[in-house]
Structure 1
Amino acid sequence: MAATVTGLAALAAVPAAASDSPGSGPADATVDMAAVLRAAQIDPQRPDQTMTPGAGASVTAVEQALRAKGLLGPQYVDGHFGTRTVAAYADHQHSLGYAGLAANGLPGEESLRRLGEGRFDVTHVVRPGTRTTHTGKVVNARTKAMLVEAQRLLGRTLVVDQGSYNPGGDPTSAGTHDGGGAVDINVDDMTTATRTKVVTALRKVGFAAWHRTPDQGDWPHHIHAIALGDPDLSSPAQHQAGDYYLGRNGLANEAPDDGPEVKPIRTWEQYQRTR
């Protein structure tokens, strides 16, 4: 099923720091994978060429490497991981023999390390982990850990109605669940207040999460959640993650986020560092 975002746009809209200037290279020849993934999900959804704070230097290093391979024009080496950079990175993944989710234009650990050979080292690696299940539905290990932590915060089990890696499983999902990091949570036994608490907990641990209603589409009440920073996200899920950062609802109408405000927006890895 579909997804959304709130008034958390402030984080994504912060002006880039001086160290993120388009002409600067990666400090100490390193690329922050988590930061690059964040930019690759936010930047294509932006209306302009604004860089994602904290990601500009790493994105520039990736773009320089893509340019060196003849996959990206020099005019796009600007620290902004926009649609041209996503397409160029997908071309790099295809050149390595990858296909499907492994060639989704989001940097995965192995493809990023291979791009950086002789140019940069990779730090803050994000791994989706192996496929497993939660309440009987397929998810990856990272998503499951996030759900388990949200359950701990809530003191209740979250039942997954639709998991990840489910291409064609639900036509109303528009491809959101084709990759990893996407789940729909059953809310049948929840009051309105409880649903809000669940969305809040999911956002705290690193999901872009929204309560979806029948008024919004051809689906029952449910909570839709996308694991921010997951390298296995499908393209529609990538777009929803970017919309969340930018304060939108993740639906086709790009309306303002209608969920509870949770600041700052954190990925799972960032949340873990706060515990």
Structure 2
Amino acid sequence: MKLPSCAAALTAAVLFASLTGVSGASAAQAADAEALPSVNMEATVKAAQIDPRRPDSTLTPGAEDSVLLVEQALRDRSFLDAKWVDGYFGTTTVTAYANYQKSLGFTGLDANGLPGKTSLTKLGAGRFKVTDVIDPGTPVSTGGFVVNTRTRSMLAEAKRLLGRDLKLDQGSNNPGGDPTSAGTHDGGGVVDISVKGMNSATRTAVVRALRLVGFAAWLRSPQQDNWPWHIHAAAISDTSLSGQAQHQIGDYYLGLNGLAGRGPDDGPKVTIRTWEEYQRR
């Protein structure tokens, strides 16, 4: 860190204190916080979904600096070997982050290896500040099923784009509720949508709308597995996702269909965006 920058920050803090009556100690603390590097949570979570599914060690664009800061902090807490501090949020880093979450007392899907707001802020204390925060919100009921507030907002916007209602067949936080879902609904951010009464064009339009607002979404058919026709949608970058849903979203970014066979994506092509990116468009 360059001394002139720190000195300038401290001078500004002292001037702010003199004008507002804030104590010198508080002003200095604010200056120190301002001088810390930033971890972009959106970029970090994106990398944590995509990188473990890559066939190589390509870095997720825009995430390297943030991932490096996270990995350095995990290394210094003895959760990650130095050789893995490389800006690549692969399976080793996901496991290390999950173990760090467990050390904080998180259990189950709260220790899923995706950086959440609370754990990431604690990891960065005195090291980095967290920007572009993602918050999945609390569990709520919609259409008789449980989702979180972020997912509910995404569904509401998809309905607005379509000009029609969408009926859920399955919600989130439903461990063991449907054996054919392979655990994707165990955590947050994942829903199944009924296609009853829809023709082929309408089904495609619904998948497209869901993708536009930040879901990895696909039309599922009985030919693929032991399930009825439905649309499966997983909210990209929802930090409460199950591990299986994380893998589906990583595959979606890589042009795959989210199924175990990892075939090519068979849905409508759209620019992939998270809910937060959609809102800023």
Determine if the TM-score, normalized by the shorter chain, exceeds 0.5: yes
1:232 paired with 2:236, answer no
1:55 paired with 2:63, answer yes
Deviations 1:109-148 (A, max 9, x none): 0000000011000000000001112211100000000000
Query: Match of 2:69, SS?
Result: helix
1:64 paired with 2:94, answer no
The answer to whether the 8 A contact 2:137-2:149 is kept is yes
* Distance (Å, rounded) in 1 between the aligned partners of 2:221 and 2:180: 13
* 2:214 maps to amino acid: G
Q: Which structure 2 residues correspond to residues 1-275 of structure 1 after superposition, within 5 A?
A: 29-263=37-271, 265-274=272-281
Q: 5+ residue gaps in structure 2? A: 1-34
Partner of 1:5: none
* Percent identical residues: 65
The answer to whether the 8 A contact 2:36-2:127 is kept is no
TM superposition outliers: structure 1 runs of 4+ over 6 Å? none
TM-score (norm 1): 0.89
* Distance (Å, rounded) in 1 between the aligned partners of 2:137 and 2:192: 20
Deviations 1:197-218 (A, max 9, x none): 0000000000000000000000
What is the alpha-carbon root mean square deviation over aligned residues?
0.8
* Distance (Å, rounded) in 2 between the aligned partners of 1:239 and 1:133: 26
* 1:186 maps to amino acid: S
**Count of aligned positions:** 247
* Distance (Å, rounded) in 2 between the aligned partners of 1:33 and 1:145: 20
Deviations 1:150-207 (A, max 9, x none): 0000000111110000000000000000000000000011101000000000000000
Higher relative contact order (CA 8 A, sep 6+): 1
* Distance (Å, rounded) in 2 between the aligned partners of 1:131 and 1:97: 21
* 2:195 maps to amino acid: V
Quick check: which has more Rg, 1 or 2?
2
Partner of 2:11: none
* 1:73 maps to amino acid: D
* Distance (Å, rounded) in 1 between the aligned partners of 2:110 and 2:120: 12
Query: Match of 1:195, SS?
Result: helix
* 1:267 maps to amino acid: T
Q: 5+ residue gaps in structure 1? A: 1-26
